[in-house]
Amino acid sequence: MERLVVVGGDAAGMSAASQARRLKGPAELEIVAFERSHFTSYSACGIPYWIGGGVPERDDLIARTPEEHRARGIDLRMRTEVVELDVAGHRVRSRDLESGDETWTEYDRLVLATGARPVRPRMPGIDAAGVHGVQTLDDGQALLETLERTPGRRAVVVGAGYIGVEMAEALVDRDYEVTVLHRGEQPMATLDPDMGTLVHRAMNGMGIRTVAGAEVTAVRTDAEGRASAVVTADGRTYPADVVVLGIGVEPRTELARAAGLPLGDSGGLLTDLSMRVRGHADIWAGGDCVEVLDLVAGRTRHIPLGTHANKHGQVIGSGVGGGYATFPGVVGTAVSKVCDLEIARTGLREKDALAVGLRFVTATIVSTNTAGYYPGAAGMTVKMLAERRTGRLLGVQIVGGAGAAKRVDVAAVALTAGMTVEQVVALDLGYAPPFSPVWDPVLVAARKAASAVRSAGH
Amino acid sequence: MERLVVVGGDAAGMSAASQARRLKGPAELEIVAFERSHFTSYSACGIPYWIGGGVPERDDLIARTPEEHRARGIDLRMRTEVVELDVAGHRVRSRDLESGDETWTEYDRLVLATGARPVRPRMPGIDAAGVHGVQTLDDGQALLETLERTPGRRAVVVGAGYIGVEMAEALVDRDYEVTVLHRGEQPMATLDPDMGTLVHRAMNGMGIRTVAGAEVTAVRTDAEGRASAVVTADGRTYPADVVVLGIGVEPRTELARAAGLPLGDSGGLLTDLSMRVRGHADIWAGGDCVEVLDLVAGRTRHIPLGTHANKHGQVIGSGVGGGYATFPGVVGTAVSKVCDLEIARTGLREKDALAVGLRFVTATIVSTNTAGYYPGAAGMTVKMLAERRTGRLLGVQIVGGAGAAKRVDVAAVALTAGMTVEQVVALDLGYAPPFSPVWDPVLVAARKAASAVRSAGH
């Protein structure tokens, strides 16, 4: 009987294990999975809503418990960390985090799904009590304990990407006075600055203080060694009863690096289209520890996102189980919200397009989410990038009221299909007054972009 | 100087006139437009929301008044109906509906945008006072007057398509006791019956009585000749203080038919891709009076919809003004809602696919509009059709909570691009807990459809 070893028990790892188990029963395939934390198969993306109180219980975020996985014939070793990968010997060394005991386990097939970790810049105080990342349920649990233990109501969030912005809102919901320190010109640097400024305004509107160009240099601690303030390069001090790190995550690939597996520029594992690690027929990798092919930019990038991790798991499990599936790549779609403002992007920003050598035009329009006369109509701003020579759609950013975020999916499909903005203008999108103006905002943006392409004259 | 004559002053006609004016000033092109009603450039799709009270004023539905058009150099003749088209003589005969005076007007270029009219089956009482279509603002105004004048609170809606369902809800909002009589097995026959049943339940849930298989044979009238009840073929009588016809519309093309212009099977004008009437280099047609190419079915159909009319107008105006644009066709996307239930379709239903000779598999899944744990998560049912041999996407129907309707746009773009359901599974759609489960419901349906395609074995 063959043995599959899975390293990492969240979305990618356990989806892979489950899908492999669907295709091959326990008589054909033994499955051993290692997870260092206390939890399996949970929604890390849901943590801000649990912290904010909208999602009442931690366990609401758990799709499948260790017991449920075990009931499906997966030998799951919780609180057990894989500390060495011996590729030549086809084995992994694991350590029981409670007892410290170490064991070697051989594999026929291996899945690496080690995830990502929040970036923790090296600086004084960064490891103090009261400084929290929010990448895992364990992280979320620790943060909640700090919030419950600490009477003060001042929170500093470092970073204004998706996690930073969502955590800022969560902390406002918990009646914190929130300051967000971010390095860029505008929060939400996953958008171009002209679109980020709309997010900036919404954050300020809900009472969040934002500080642009802030370079954090230290976390100051009190007599008990707990975080008490954040210090920036310009010498300013921001008092903090709790500090949340939202400056992004990096792939957790030390194990792979030490074993000589191929890593990309962002430190993520490199795989082929079937999610096999390049050059290794019996090792697959997926989720937040890999780089994915950006179909628009034509290169691999590190895009940690639960939806990709789940797809990876499905593809890996199919491959391991003797089926066939591929993950062709992504176009860089991401959606988020702050208060009632929905935020979305797909494809390339201006700086992404410049970085890969594309010449482009841009078009920005303001419209509404429903017919303008429909009760509760809210504004929507759409920015579109198109290749200057060909009119090919390159990217879309949307900020606006209800229905703004998921409208980006239209652009995601059009990008995948390689459509020109002229083709986008002609798309047959759903229209009725409660859902859209008679010209959908995405079509209005495409019309303006197509006109810009024609005017540009190559 | 050339003269453009436009017949019909709503979406298609006035969009065409406006776009032509943008490209050619009054010194180059004279524009004469005829409109039989009291209004121009209004949202007919918004009428149910005005009747229901959500949209406070009739004028909210008007995008551009006659005066605004005239200020842009369009010679607009209101309450003037074109009663004859002399193609050989390049002229139209019009009648002033107030004075009865008739005039011949010559044209160099002609745009036919005569719209559609509600189907009025020939039966006793159908023209009685209190029986209303809701296709034009004049229709809506007349209905409102009936509602204000009539103390009774019983309404019968004949037909349960988009207009029927929307009008039923509008009348409930005005505290009417509403009965919807429809011929088919389920309301909303634009969906397959298994999906229509979900709409049925929602309508009943909001207190609307629905009667399936109802063949209306007469409208009974009172002593003053006003509608008092609707009679069906099985001899039943449904008392009614007001009767609303929602059994669809038909293209208003008598003028074109009499002039020998080409009409399709549904009686709509046939055009080329630049919206020129086939075989006539100087006549264009658009909006509810034309048939459009259904790109999935591979034939023309009559799909009266404001969003198409506006695109037609844009394309026609570009052509008339010496520019270039085309309308490649539609995939049959339509969205609607009843109470909080959103309803959407694109592509082919089962019977459409059968009718054009396609062999297919279907997949139906139930999921949620947001992450299941997110506060307020609502159900969503997605049905997908795929070609059995190739796995090509053929159609999608969605019924569910907030965000269900516009999700169909993803399928509309995928249909336009000719994607297989396997390609749909891999689409990079926006994911965050407030907007979608980690597997978007459309992707879940595609996964099931792809599996059905594989199992079908061609």
By C-alpha distance, the chain A residue nearest B435 is: A406
DSSP-derived 3-state class of residue B280: coil
Q: How many domains does chain A have?
A: 3
Q: Which residues of B touch A12 (CB under 8 A)?
A: none
The token pair at B213 is 């298989």
pLDDT-above-90 percentage for chain A: 97
**pLDDT tens digit sequence for A242-275:** 999 998 899 999 999 999 999 999 999 999 999 9
The token pair at B79 is 């309450």
Q: Does residue B368 surpass a pLDDT of 80?
A: yes
Domain assignment present for residue A146? The answer is yes
Q: Which residues of A touch B438 (CB under 8 A)?
A: 11, 43, 45, 306-307, 310
Is residue A111 located within the same domain as residue A14? yes
Residues in Cβ contact with B342 at an 8 Å cutoff, skipping those fewer than 6 apart: A435, B335, B336, B398, B399, B400, B401, B402, B403, B404, B405
Domain assignment present for residue B325? The answer is no
Q: Does residue B457 surpass a pLDDT of 80?
A: no
**pLDDT tens digit sequence for A160-190:** 999 999 999 999 999 999 999 999 999 999 9
**pLDDT tens digit sequence for A69-94:** 999 999 999 999 999 999 999 999 99
**pLDDT tens digit sequence for A364-413:** 999 999 999 999 999 999 999 999 999 999 999 999 999 999 999 999 99
pLDDT-above-90 percentage for chain B: 97
pLDDT given for residue A458 in this prediction:
61
- Span B153-180, average pLDDT: 96
Is residue A151 located within the same domain as residue A242? yes
DSSP-derived 3-state class of residue A139: helix
To the nearest 10°, report the CA torsion of B301, B302, B304, B307. 30
Output helix, strand, coil percentages for chain B, rounded to the nearest 5: 30, 30, 40
Closest Cβ–Cβ partner in A54, A335, A438 for B307:
A438
Domain assignment present for residue A407? The answer is yes
What is residue A237's DSSP assignment?
A: E
State the CB neighbour count (10 A cutoff) for residue A254.
12
Domain assignment present for residue A292? The answer is yes
Report how far residue B296's alpha carbon sits from residue B284's, in angstroms, rounded to the nearest whole number: 24
* Mean predicted lDDT score pLDDT of chain B: 97
Q: Starting at the earlier edge strand, list the strands of the sheet with A109-112.
A: A75-78, A29-35, A2-7, A109-112, A283-285
Is residue A210 located within the same domain as residue A160? yes
Cβ contacts from A onto B, under 8 A: 205
Is residue B170 located within the same domain as residue B315? no
CA atoms within 13 A on the CB side of A324: 3
Is residue B145 located within the same domain as residue B204? yes
Classify strands A75-78 and A80-86 as parallel, antiparallel or unpaired.
unpaired
- Span A189-202, average pLDDT: 96
Domain assignment present for residue B280? The answer is yes
Is residue B81 located within the same domain as residue B168? no
Closest Cβ–Cβ partner in A45, A55, A310 for B432:
A45
Report how far residue A229's alpha carbon sits from residue A180's, in angstroms, rounded to the nearest whole number: 13
Domain assignment present for residue B172? The answer is yes
pLDDT tier at B84, thresholds 50, 70, 90: very high
**pLDDT tens digit sequence for B296-311:** 999 999 999 999 999 9
Amino acid at A193: P
Classify strands A393-400 and A379-387 as parallel, antiparallel or unpaired.
antiparallel
The token pair at A390 is 């060909």
User: What are residue B133's phi and psi, to 5 degrees?
Assistant: -90, 170
Its sign, for the CA torsion B67, B73, B74, B79, is positive
Asked whether the beta carbons of B237 and B231 are under 8 A apart, the reply is: yes
Is residue A70 located within the same domain as residue A146? no
Q: Do A413 and B408 touch (CB under 8 A)?
A: no
pLDDT given for residue B118 in this prediction:
87
Nearest CA distance, B31 vs chain A (angstrom): 24
Report how far residue B363's alpha carbon sits from residue A383's, in angstroms, rounded to the nearest whole number: 35
To the nearest 10°, report the CA torsion of B375, B381, B385, B386. 30
**pLDDT tens digit sequence for B35-74:** 999 999 999 999 999 999 999 999 999 999 999 999 999 9
Q: Give the mutation candidate from B428, B442, B455 for the A interface (greatest A CB count, under 10 A).
A: B428
What is residue A276's DSSP assignment?
A: B
pLDDT tier at A238, thresholds 50, 70, 90: very high
Report how far residue B430's alpha carbon sits from residue A334's, in angstroms, rounded to the nearest whole number: 5
Q: Do A412 and B406 touch (CB under 8 A)?
A: no
* CA-derived radius of gyration, chain B: 23
State the CB neighbour count (10 A cutoff) for residue B355.
12
Residue A38 structural domain: 2-116+250-320
Classify strands B2-7 and A249-251 as parallel, antiparallel or unpaired.
unpaired
Its sign, for the CA torsion A146, A147, A151, A156, is positive
Is residue B359 located within the same domain as residue B291? no
- Going from the C-alpha of A363 to that of each of A148, B11, B52, B231, the distances in angstroms are 47, 25, 37, 56
Q: Does residue B120 surpass a pLDDT of 90?
A: no
Residues in Cβ contact with B263 at an 8 Å cutoff, skipping those fewer than 6 apart: B251, B253, B256, B257, B269, B270
- Residue A448: enclosing H or E segment and its boundaries? helix A441-456
Q: Which residues of B touch A331 (CB under 8 A)?
A: 428
Is residue B309 located within the same domain as residue B348? no
pLDDT tier at B218, thresholds 50, 70, 90: very high
Q: Do A438 and B306 touch (CB under 8 A)?
A: yes
pLDDT given for residue B95 in this prediction:
98
Kindly report each contact of residues B200-203 with a partner whose C-beta sits within 8 Å and lies 24 or more positions away, as own/partner: B202/B338, B202/B339, B202/B341, B203/B165, B203/B168, B203/B338
ipTM: 0.96
pLDDT given for residue A118 in this prediction:
87
**pLDDT tens digit sequence for B308-359:** 999 999 999 999 999 999 999 999 999 999 999 999 999 999 999 999 999 9
Domain assignment present for residue B37? The answer is yes
Residues in Cβ contact with B354 at an 8 Å cutoff, skipping those fewer than 6 apart: none
Q: Which of B292, B320, B348 is the last residue of a domain?
A: B320
Q: Which of A206, A221, A247 is the last residue of a domain?
A: A247
* Mean predicted lDDT score pLDDT of chain A: 97
Report how far residue B182's alpha carbon sits from residue B203's, in angstroms, rounded to the nearest whole number: 13
pLDDT given for residue B458 in this prediction:
61
Asked whether the beta carbons of B445 and B347 are under 8 A apart, the reply is: no
pLDDT given for residue B438 in this prediction:
96
Report how far residue B187's alpha carbon sits from residue B121's, in angstroms, rounded to the nearest whole number: 19
Q: Do A435 and B45 touch (CB under 8 A)?
A: no
Q: Residue B435 — left, alpha, or beta (φ > 0 → left; ψ -120 to 50 → alpha)?
A: alpha
By C-alpha distance, the chain A residue nearest B303 is: A428
Is residue A88 located within the same domain as residue A7? yes
pLDDT given for residue A120 in this prediction:
86
What is the CATH classification number for the domain harbouring B160?
Answer: 3.50.50.60
- Span A186-206, average pLDDT: 96
Is residue A285 located within the same domain as residue A222? no
Report how far residue B395's alpha carbon sits from residue B333's, in angstroms, rounded to the nearest whole number: 9
pLDDT given for residue A425 in this prediction:
98
Domain assignment present for residue A53? The answer is yes
Is residue B355 located within the same domain as residue B371? yes
What is the CATH classification number for the domain harbouring A359?
Answer: 3.30.390.30
Amino acid at A101: D
- B407-423 as b/e: b if 16+ CB within 10 A: bbbbbbbbbbbebbbbb
Q: Which of B201, B229, B247 is the last residue of a domain?
A: B247
**pLDDT tens digit sequence for A91-137:** 999 999 999 999 999 999 999 999 999 888 899 999 999 999 998 99
